[in-house]
Amino acid sequence: MLGIDDPYVVAAYLGSIAMTLTGLLYGLIRRNASPDAVTIEDRLWALEEREAGRDL
């Protein structure tokens, strides 16, 4: 198949593509499935992170 005789290498070749397609499908299905809320602790964390970055 595909000019490759070893089934394990074919599986790896197609498996890489299959993994990518799984990722594409997942992204499509879950695109808006989760909430997109930013909590206070998220914002506090980000403020501290930004402060550290600025210091540096």
C-alpha to C-alpha distance for 22 and 48, rounded to whole angstroms: 36
Q: Which residue in the block uniquely carries the two structure tokens 């970055």?
A: 53
Residues of span 12-41 touching another protein by CB under 8 A: 12-13, 15-17, 19-20, 22-24, 26-28, 30-41
Q: How far is the CB of 12 from another protein (least distance, A)?
A: 4
CB 10 within 8 A of CB 4: yes
Could you list the residues that contact another protein (CB under 8 A)?
2-6, 8-9, 12-13, 15-17, 19-20, 22-24, 26-28, 30-50, 52-53, 55-56
